[in-house]
Amino acid sequence: METETLVTNQEQQVVKTTTPTQLEQKQAVYQFVLSALPEGSTTAHSPLKSLVTKEVRKVVRVKLFEGIKAGTIKYKPLEKTDGELKKYCSSLINNWLKKDDRFN
């Protein structure tokens, strides 16, 4: 995702620039869970939360970790080791599976 902005350069010309926008953590978890679920597994009658297996969590955790490291997911710049960041990503998944109404 990108945001387009019009700016004036040194020659006083208006040019369009694009800057990457960062995903909110809540939205990232939701999108990554949906993309990790097997196709056709979601139904209107079963809560998404019940479809999230260990394998799905692992895929989501890796995507979150990579997104935070790449700067595409909002994250306060706290100094964390890779191990601590992976634990943080696991906590994010647990947190949003409980709090996000779209999963229940």
pLDDT surpassing 60 at residue 99: yes
Tens digit of each residue's pLDDT (9 = 90 or more) over 14-64: 666 565 689 999 999 999 999 999 887 777 677 888 899 999 999 999 999
pTM: 0.77
Reduced to 3 states, what is the DSSP secondary structure of residue 47? coil
The pLDDT value given to residue 19: 59
Distance CA 68, CA 29 (A): 12
Please provide the average confidence, as pLDDT, over all residues in the chain. 85
Domain segments of the chain as ranges = 22-103
pLDDT at 79: 78
Q: Is the torsion defined by CA of 71, 75, 77, 82 positive or negative?
A: negative
